Each structure stands twice: as C-alpha cells, then as structure tokens.
Amino acid sequence: MSSSVISVCLLGLGAVVLLALARVVRGPTVLDRILAFDLIATAVVAMIAVLSVQWHTPLFLELILLYSLLGFVGTVVFTFYLHRTLPRRRSGRERSGAAEVPQEPLS
Amino acid sequence: MIEGLASLFLLMGTAFILVAAIGLLRLPDVLCRSHAVAKASTLGIFLVLLGLWVVLGVEAAGLKILLAIFFQVATIPVASHLVALLAWDKNLPLWRGRQRPAAELDPEVEKG
C-alpha cells in the first residue's frame, strides 16, 4: 500500500474530526452534538481501519468492533436519557421568550 | 491490482465520510444533519472496512471484518433515526425552506 494513499486518508479523517468538533462547539441543540460525536466515533473507527491497512495486521479488528459498539451504546444512552429530561419546545407560532430558557443548560 | 482496489476503496470511503462531515457542518437543522450523517458515513465506513478486507484477505480475518461491517451498517442508521425521532418528538426548530418570507422563518434555526 502506497504511503501517500494512507496519508491522504488520515488527513481526510482528521479533517472530519475537526469539522465535527466545530459542530460540537457551534451546535444549537444537544442533538447536534450527539450527531457530531457519532460522526467522530465513525471517523476514529475508519482511522483504526486505515492504520491496520498500513501495518497490514488483523490485530485491531476487536478494537474496531469495541469502538463502534461503544459509540452506538453512548448515542442510545444519551438519546434515552434526553427523552426523559429534555423539555419539549413550544411550537413556533406561540413562541414566548421564557419557553426557550430551560433548554439552555442542556444544550 | 489488489493494492489499487484497496486504495480506491479507502479513498472513496474517506471522501464519503468527509462529505458527511461537511453536511453535518453546513445543513440547517437537526433532521437534515442526521440525514447527512446516517447515509454518507454509513457508506463511507462500509467502503473503508471493505478496503481493509481486500488488503487482509479472507483467510486472515474474514468473518470478523464482515461482522464489523454488519455492525456499522446496522447501528449508524439506528442511532441517527433515534436522534431524528427525539428531535421530532421534542419539537426542535425545523428548517422551513428559503422560499418563505423572512418573517415566517423560525429565528432559532441557524442560518447556513
């Protein structure tokens, strides 16, 4: 495997992590941040796959399985937790300024 | 031959994950972002793991990579669907499109 392909793939995945971190910082709601962390977990799994292509070893396959499992379980746990605790937003027409305030500490 | 095929798979997978990240950064609301993350990053990680499978060969670790591919393809859309369902349930601000006049736009939806 030529090393330029590996370098391009790792640079692209690093750019993916940076863009997703920008969404984590900017994201208006907490769900955007959950999506961005899901994408970061995917990019890290792809990085592990690219590195095991470079080293030509099957040793990291368990690491790939475990990391994808942990990312999925983390997303599901956050979603079920927020399903109980995230306050339901009022609809757009009858919006009042006070209805948006309880969402702020979570997001 | 095998090197070229694996390089093609790795580059295409990286490009699809990069498209997912750009869509996550550029799209206007939660549902559009979960759409981008679900489809593009699933195809991207599928292609990257397929490239790893092509490099390592079947006899080294065939079934484990197939298990990893199956797991990624099964779980990323489920996680994104859960997030989209929660966003719809909690009535988060939606993007109404550009053809409406500006007064009807939801001001909480982030522009761009």
Phi first, then psi: give them for residue B28, nearest 5 degrees: -80, -30
Given CB atoms, is A89 within the 8 Å cutoff of chain B? yes
Mean pLDDT of the B1-13 span: 91
Q: Residue A12 and residue B15: Cβ atoms within 8 Å? A: yes
Q: How far apart are CA A99 and CA A95, in angstroms?
A: 7
* A64-73, B38-47, B89-98: range with lowest mean pLDDT: B89-98
Residue A10 has what pLDDT? 94
Average confidence score pLDDT of chain B? 84
Q: How far apart are CA A60 and CA B90, in angstroms?
A: 39
Given CB atoms, is A74 within the 8 Å cutoff of chain B? no
> How far does chain B reach from its first CA to its final CA, in angstroms?
43
Residue B105 has what pLDDT? 54
Given a cut of 70, is residue B101 above it in pLDDT? Answer: no
Q: Residue B71 and residue A68: Cβ atoms within 8 Å? A: yes
Mean pLDDT of the B31-48 span: 92
Give residue A79's identity as a one-letter amino acid code: T
Q: Residue A42 and residue B61: Cβ atoms within 8 Å? A: no
Q: Residue B30 and residue A1: Cβ atoms within 8 Å? A: no
Domain ranges of chain B: 2-89
Give me the count of residues in chain A: 107
pLDDT tens by residue, chain A, 107 residues: 678 899 999 999 999 999 999 999 987 888 999 999 999 999 999 999 999 999 988 889 999 999 999 989 999 999 999 988 888 877 654 444 444 444 444 44
Phi first, then psi: give them for residue B27, nearest 5 degrees: -75, 155
Given a cut of 50, is residue B68 above it in pLDDT? Answer: yes
Token duo for residue B24 = 């996550």
Residue B28 has what pLDDT? 87
Residue B102 has what pLDDT? 52
Out of B37, B44, B67, the one facing A46 most closely (by C-beta) is: B44
- State the helix-helix crossing angle for B30-56 and B58-89, rounded to 10 degrees: 180
